[in-house]
Amino acid sequence: MPRNDKIWHSFIRTAPGCLLIGLITYVCYRLRLNLSITGFAYLIVVVLHSLAGSFGSSAVVSLVAVLCLDFFFTPPVFSFEVTNPLDILALISFLTTSLVITRLTTKVRNASHAAAAAQAELFRGAILDALAHEFKTPLATIVTAAGGLRELGPLRPEQLELTDIVEAEAARLSLLTSRLLRTAQLDREEVKPELELTDMADLVGALADQYSRQWTDRKISVRKETATAGVMADPELLQLALGQLLDNACKYSIPGSAVTVSIDSQDEWVAIRTSNSGSLIRPSERSHIFERFYRGVEVQNKPPGSGLGLYVARRIVHAHGGSLDLERGTTTSNGDTTFCLALPLAVPGC
């Protein structure tokens, strides 16, 4: 958020409490109320403000209240000078009490919000699991029925083509449903890879073929620039992580543009880079794109997503002892974007 916007936002959050302090000051001064009664009235305002505002804005309201107590109700009035030690103690006690109450109220409110968010996430996960599982059965039935139509008897070429389309799309939807279930599961649970020797070139090649058939208006190519690409990994989990990178590259790139996947090794690492054009990531967003449920401004009006993909992909890669990052200097004004997934090479003989 720009600095001017932050200042204006802070002013808006502080203004209601300060206006109430001003109103109470006017009323109490006109009624000639003493320091103690006015202080309790101010304290009520501070507590009410802390229920909705942040600790910082509530602290500002507390400070304004102390200044008003000093200026209007502490002898000599209309001066910030305090001559009576008891009045000094009263002002310090008021400020301390209001800050402590504000801090405690803010902590309780934040804890309540966190608990509510956790509960909402639990329900979200349960609903997602239930829906995904419900989809699996009818999809399997559709695939079986499409295969049965082919076996019933000779079909005309156009009928056979329609049957193939139904079967292929149902199978693809079933795969997406399985991926959705797996992603939701990995979001909630610890990632525990079952390691085995995996050739990243074979894994990337199979994924590229799969996405080439799905995204016929993208030119997906694979460049292997190393002779060694073996890693100790869980193929299913890595396929999910790499699939997320390829899916994003295809989904947010320009139709007809190239999507490139390169494989190279350096020292004891193998790096897989996915590059595409058309998915501009603003500099202010680069530190947030791997956060849970985060979606950039540029993609919010594009194909829908949950904001979990990159978050889960990075969790998978970290569980393998690797790294997943947006390469610096690769996101240009034309929207050229490159993600780099790096994994330690398998030790020969292991």
Q: Contact, 310 vs 244, CB < 8 A?
A: yes
Among residues 79, 100, 93, which one has the least CA distance to residue 39?
93
Beta bridge partners of 139: none
d(CA 108, CA 166): 54
Residue 324: pLDDT above 90? yes
Helix, strand, coil percent values for the chain (each to nearest 5): 60, 15, 25
Whole-structure pTM value: 0.55
Strands 336-344 and 269-277: antiparallel
Q: What is the pLDDT of residue 350?
A: 47
Q: What is the pLDDT of residue 7?
A: 61
* Number of residues that this document lists for the chain: 350
Would you call 301 helix, strand, or coil by DSSP? coil
For a pLDDT cut of 70, what percent of the chain falls above it?
79
| Percentage of the chain lying above the pLDDT 90 cut | 13
Structure confidence at residue 216 as a pLDDT band (50, 70, 90): confident
CA distance 24 to 136: 63
Instruction: Pick the more confident residue, 24 or 296.
Output: 24
The superfamily (CATH) of domain 196-344 is: Histidine kinase-like ATPase, C-terminal domain (3.30.565.10)
Residues 33-72 pLDDT 10s: 888 888 888 888 888 888 777 788 888 888 888 889 888 8
User: Where along the chain do the CATH 3.30.565.10 domains lie?
Assistant: 196-344
* Distance (Å, whole) CA 36 – CA 113: 34
Residue 188 is predicted with a pLDDT of 63
Kindly indicate the confidence band of residue 341, based on its pLDDT and cuts at 50, 70 and 90: very high
Say what angle helices 85-152 and 55-68 make with each other, to 10 degrees: 160
Q: Cβ distance 307 to 296 under 8 Å?
A: no
Q: How confident is the model at residue 303 (pLDDT cuts 50, 70, 90)?
A: low
3-state SS string for 2-47: CHHHHHHHHHHHHHHHHHHHHHHHHHHHHCCCCHHHHHHHHHHHHH
Residue 349 has pLDDT above 80, yes or no: no
> Which helix (H) or strand (E) element contains residue 233?
strand 230-233
Looking at every residue in the chain, the average pLDDT score rounds to: 80
* 263-267 contacts, C-beta under 8 A, 24 or more apart: 263/200, 263/201, 263/204, 263/222, 263/223, 263/224, 263/225, 263/226, 263/229, 264/224, 264/225, 264/226, 265/226, 265/228, 265/229, 265/345
Comparing 82-86, 129-133, 289-293, the range with the smallest average pLDDT is 129-133
d(CA 171, CA 264) in angstroms, rounded, equals 33
